[in-house]
Structure 1
Amino acid sequence: MQHKTVKAVMVAGAHDVRYENQDIAWDSDQVLVKVERGGICGSDIHYFLHGRAGMSVLKSPMVLGHEFVGIVEQAPQESNLLAGQRVAINPSQPCQQCDICRSGKQNLCRSMRFMGSAQFYPHVNGGFAQHVVVAPEQCIPYADNVEAKVIAFAEPLAVCIHGIKQAGDLTGKRVLVTGAGPIGCLVIAAALASGATEVVATDLSERCRALALKMGAASVWDPRDEEVVGAWREKGGSFDVCFEASGAAAAVASVVAYTRPGGIIVQLGMGQAEITYPIGPLLVKEVQLRGSFRFVDEFTTAVRWLETGKIDPLPLLSAELPMDQAVDALELAADKERAAKVQLVF
């Protein structure tokens, strides 16, 4: 067993984020990775603002972060990973033993140890540290000539590619994306890369709508523009597939009316646990509502799409701050009128 003391970004409660020492240890069958940078996710912001993310409540200090990349420092010889190799880190650690894992749906594993999550206790530390210890299978190598700030988008892009997979074949389809935050914008790009003919987006924020256009949306609209959205409801709906990426109760309920009979809704956004929902229209139009949660092998796909330039995520990168300015970075990332994706540099 080897040991090391590193600096890490720890969250201990609401508005209690510390940049302090953390002791790490690793065995010969694990990989030591020097972290280069990581993106701040909505769950990181929730832990920072509220001391919880959904049902996951902080009970002790935890290292934040699950969107990160680094450089291998030590690795098991049998892993085929080499010192100096640049890798994206898949933060998922499913049990691989349960019936769900064995069926190939590891993202739904009830015992998932997801990095930077307080779902279980002891909590699972994340990647916002100078060094992390991970399993070899979590490391996805990528080409040296690709910028780390690009590959740091692999985790959120994997979420979006999984959502696209839930929708099925998008070839020739007309698509609506509600919510043009980082996930919604990456869904736009992923849908177009997967064959969608046209992608339309909505968001309350003018800044987010502008980003949606940069990511490939054919048009963007304020969902309060009744003249536009009213036309979408005519004749039973206008879109073959709707990706709901905001989680806002009004948006979640609205997409049933915008979806054509026989169409598909993929729910990506997490909001309130319970909302009022138009079940009747969903039923009589035979619209399929499908949930989408995290990812499985789509993480590797996301790395390859970013590596080859199939998707350019950089319009979403609003700022890059050093790790000792984590509080400033979190405050910026929490202000949706100022920032989309903020990355910490280690």
Structure 2
Amino acid sequence: ESRGAGEIWIAETNSERRSTVSGAGNFRVFDPAEPGSGPKGGAIDLVVDAVGIEATRASASAAAKPGGVIVHIGLGQATGGLDIRRMTLQEITFIGTYTYTPTDFHDTAHAIFDGRLGALDWAEERPLEDGPGAFAEIHAGRVGAPKTILRP
């Protein structure tokens, strides 16, 4: 919203995370596994795929509007999921990006400090030695926090 976005949709398969995210800001949160729960197909100007697996790329391909943009940052799987025919015929731009510049970090830090990204109280902190257990709980879908910070 800080950059002029009108409506932000977030896809999340974990019900605990959906609950956390829905309270974190002015977002529309949905389960991509539930048909009809998300945005109308072909209606999104900018889609960010932060997971990068076949299913999320397929969802991104379906969600992007004609002339829209898909930004791909997830590295989950190397191939699959893109509807290349639709992307070509409807002139959807696909951008892969991997790293961030010092300017990106600077701008993000200022957005956090200025409160433009909301409360950011949805992160969970744990001691570093709890790392293996934290990953096991995340993998099992028992963690509601989108991010876990491990502190030494």
| TM-score bracket relative to the smaller structure | 0.7 to 0.9
Summarize the Cα distance change of 1:201–1:316 in structure 2 as closer, same or farther, 3 Å threshold. same
1:133-171 CA distances to partner (integer Å, 9 max, x unpaired)? xxxxxxxxxxxxxxxxxxxxxxxxxxxxxxxxxxxxxxx
State yes or no: 1:218 paired with 2:15: no
Q: Which residue of 2 aligns with 1:279?
A: 84
**Contact 1:214–1:315 (CA<8 Å) still a contact in 2?**
no
State yes or no: 1:329 paired with 2:138: no
1:290-346 CA distances to partner (integer Å, 9 max, x unpaired)? 11222101111122222222224533321232xxxx231342145222243222334
CA distance in structure 2 between the aligned counterparts of 1:319 and 1:197, rounded to whole angstroms: 31
State yes or no: 1:203 paired with 2:3: no
In structure 2, the gaps of 5 or more residues are none
The equivalences for 1:55-94 within 5 A come to none
**Contact 1:239–1:259 (CA<8 Å) still a contact in 2?**
yes
Q: Identity across aligned pairs (percent)? A: 24
CA distance in structure 2 between the aligned counterparts of 1:276 and 1:343, rounded to whole angstroms: 31
**Contact 1:248–1:272 (CA<8 Å) still a contact in 2?**
yes
TM-score by length of 1: 0.39
Greater strand content: 1
Give the number of equivalent residue pairs: 147
Question: What letter matches 1:254 in structure 2?
Answer: S
CA RMSD of aligned residues (A): 2.1
Question: What letter matches 1:328 in structure 2?
Answer: D
2:37 partner SS? helix
CA distance in structure 1 between the aligned counterparts of 2:3 and 2:70, rounded to whole angstroms: 17
CA distance in structure 1 between the aligned counterparts of 2:74 and 2:17, rounded to whole angstroms: 15
TM-score by length of 2: 0.83
Q: Which residue of 1 aligns with 2:114?
A: 308
CA distance in structure 1 between the aligned counterparts of 2:110 and 2:29, rounded to whole angstroms: 28
Q: Which residue of 2 aligns with 1:253?
A: 58
4+ residue runs over 6 A deviation: none
Structure scoring higher RCO (CA < 8 A, sep ≥ 6) equals: 2
Summarize the Cα distance change of 1:302–1:288 in structure 2 as closer, same or farther, 3 Å threshold. same
Summarize the Cα distance change of 1:261–1:308 in structure 2 as closer, same or farther, 3 Å threshold. same
Summarize the Cα distance change of 1:225–1:343 in structure 2 as closer, same or farther, 3 Å threshold. closer
